[in-house]
A and B are shown apart, each in its own frame.
Chain A
């Protein structure tokens, strides 16, 4: 299939991008429907005079609009992808703006996925060439238009900051002046791209500022929750308190009596309350009496699930990676150390809860939501409403965070959105809103995991390593199932099935447990737990061997030059002189590669008080290939560190007989400003193809903190969050 061919030819460019890349798979139905979906909306030029391709619009007013195929929910693709276009276009950055491209997989597919969507920190990686080509092509056409108008050779025209110039004749002109004429120039093939040495925006400190900062600082940025349309109804859904529950019957008299409540309908996910605003919707929902059938629901508590996992972890699982013979090496003696780590269910809790807008008139539908997998959401909405994809238009909105939550293989939000629209019938626009409690109790968590590790030391060296992981797979039964190879879901063991360290005898195996709690990728996916297990355990072994955490790691990184590079860089940045403790503070180290980016962090920690350890400073070195927007990279490292730290310290969703206990930020505790460490980031110079930064900042911080705690004489936390039961 053509789609596969595209991917293969791109493989080199995308090498090192998430494991997601190679296994991404479009279900048969979606593949068939895809060509249809592609036709439904070919973006026109709008008011723009010049629309050379799907990504670039230039108006007579000189404004350059870049259509962004990736959702902007904080990680900076608006700015990043626009930078790539503006670089090759030699545009004036102050005239550049970005907007979301519509759903159209042919034009806007993620080249790493084969469908439109964002994830696996692929936005820059898969767009790097594509967006530069789009800019270079537009530039060549503007130059040609000017050459014809001025009757001079195109090769003599230069472009700088949105101005075309012919030095010999002293002529100059702005993009806007040639936009109209350029639209009649034939689109050239294979326009050459700039040599990196000539970059003026890419990788240049301070050359671009984010395109979305001002509207977010003054409240004018429009999110899905802000949509208001005439006759629109706000919808909240009462869902079962346990995963897998179903509606038996409901009594809605009291709910309907609430002023502003318009209707109440049963939908497959529960009972929907339709109202003229959020407050009456919530009041109505509170007054519903629903009888649930929970016979098929998951009824275990997290403590029981953990016990079951621990038992499994003592038996060998399916081998995910091995060399040598770890069991034999462990049996040979030396000093054998064992550790077990327990990781809780985690909610993503994006600041804007899940929401979506849909207007269906019976023939056509307009959906507007923070869609992260547009092609899937588009198909799902069309499917529920019995429309063809051509009859549905899906617009991506800015979203208040995602951290993975909006990338839904089961399209549960889009499906529920279409179902609530369908239940009330055509002609009533609906805005479906989840509350924070709906969100935190709504499942699709980072799966609970147990890792059991055993290692052997001989002559001060780590000679054997065995790791058994136990958890759930969320790929099974999803459109991504093809990623499961030889019975192994790679997302469960990424970062653990092979290590950057030279260890002679090694094994990693995995048990896949069956639990009725829906789970999902969560910012940095498997690395959220494997990064902690591996980096804590290697540190524990090095400590037992009396080795320095930096030097000890470097000695084992002979085959991992980029890991070693960031580790050296972070040690320099922090002026490393050992882990300490120095006075009351100690330093911990961790290095994790994820999504093709290499990150090392050093955390400086003191024991703190009853509120737990205090993280004062964090140094971070990142190698993500060519650094397109250094300041966006720094922002993502800072944010990733805060996100990772907050969850490691405070966050878990426990189940009590199957019911999620935590429900809002009072109990699902978030990092707050006074707990945020100072952060210093060094970006390692690299000429490699750029890789992502949205997720990779997260995994190293928790083990770095744990490793510092160990040097303070505290136990390395074996169960996360570090502060259990302190959530308030």
Chain B
């Protein structure tokens, strides 16, 4: 594989739910270290696209390459691929029966056979990073939404993924908690993480995105750097969308 090759390559991907076409011949390339923000109206296929990248949704046609590996092919061990793809959900999905620290150490210990001490050390340093070291022994239920989401980010990072996928990470949060999560994401972006982020936070998109992808009805309608997309959107759909939200 060439260094300039994209770390994510989505080629002509189509996805049906029954007879409903949720993704319509989508093409997208993401280079290592690049940050892509996906925008679009509700139901346009943003989550579906994100979830095909780690195969939480299977695809009907086309291909997806992660690091040059064709992940939809039956020969690939999808679990191996997923270890390199961190995912953060709108609803946090922390393991409710595990403490904060255990949420972070479970996968490294079980999947990477990391020694417990080492995993806890890593976990605590990640909790430091998201500002929650003092909550290591709390349970998810005892945390605010913003705190839970920061733990969820740390949990994904504990597997030391190459790529982080975010599906509306702040949409379930009270407004006053949105920033603490966005700050963590900005830090992560600065450190050079490859990120694909579905969000409605336009400030974040402007500040962090290298490329903004605009989706409508299962297709990518427009793709441009944020300066261009927000100032001079080309497509009428993008224009209408931006007018509505700004």
Interaction A to B = no
Which residue numbers of B lie inside 8 Å of A, CB to CB? none
